[in-house]
Structure formats: structure tokens, C-alpha cells
Amino acid sequence: EKLYRFCHNNPFVEFHPVTYTHNIATLSKIENLISINSAFQVDLYGQVNAEMTGDYHIGGTGGQVDFIRGSKQSKGGKSIICLSSTAQNGGISRIVPSFDRYTPVTSLRADIDGVVTEFGLAELRGKSMRQRAQALIEIAHPDFRQGLKDAFAKYWP
């Protein structure tokens, strides 16, 4: 109730439907728009899974793709994905060589400018596949870095 009273006839507050707030044309007009989204996994190509963990479907794409693409169209905009480097109390890496079969790709590698974990930022924009993998391995948990390097070397010797 307090929120509604604050918003009622307040010229500084606007309400719009999702067809406006998540519209790429609307978002692209915001200069330097930085979209910050979360993920369950990122693979060594920079693809994002923000829908499933293991065999469990957790949710849909939400506005992730809209905001990522809107920020990409924004003058000076960037798209950032944030996630912790591990799950299950450090038992598994959230940066993975590739996704398991049937895992959806929520956001495409070409749309992601950077990925952040507690170990830093992997800048992906304009990088080759090898450079992207190396940058992502550098921000993976140290316990999983060698395994990621070994897995990547199988496909990119």
C-alpha cells in the first residue's frame, strides 16, 4: 500500500507493460546500457544456460535475451553475465567445457561481452574461440581450471 501511495500521481514514476520495458527498440535508445544477468552455467564458447540445473528445469529466459540484445544495440552498451564459479558447495564447476545434451542455450555466445565470477572478468567481445576459452578458464575456480584446459585441448589442439 505504501508503494502504491508513493507512485500514485507521482510525475517521477512511470509504469509500462513488458512489451515496452523489454522492447529492444526502447532499450537501444538508452546510451551506455549495461545489462547484468545471471546464469547457471557458461560453456567455454561463452554460451549461457540460465534455465536448467542438472535435470531440473528452473525457469524460462525471463528478460535476459531482451536486455542483452538491447544493450548490444545501445551506443556504448555491454552485456555481462555473472555467476559464482562453483555449485554444490564447490563440488562442480559452473564454467563447463560444453553443456549436457538437451541443456538449452539461453543466450548466444555472440551476444555476450563479458562473464564475471568471484575470480574476475572474462572479456569476450571480439575474441577468437581459443581466446574466449582461455579467458573463461582464468575466471573458473582454480580446482577446475586444469580439467577445463584438458577438455578444451581435445577439441582445439
Average pLDDT over residues 68-78: 96
Q: Is 79's pLDDT higher than 80?
A: yes
Helix residue ranges, H only, the chain: 2-7, 18-21, 24-28, 64-73, 129-139, 142-155
Report the predicted TM-score, pTM, of the whole model to 2 decimal places. 0.90
Quick one: how far is CA 30 from the chain centroid? 20
pLDDT at 76: 97
pLDDT at 56: 85
> Residue 10 — pLDDT band, cuts 50, 70, 90?
very high
Q: Are strands 52-53 and 92-93 parallel, antiparallel or unpaired?
A: unpaired
Q: Considering only CA atoms, which of 117, 123, 65 is closest in space to residue 96?
A: 117
Model confidence pLDDT, tens digit, residues 138-155: 999 999 999 999 999 998
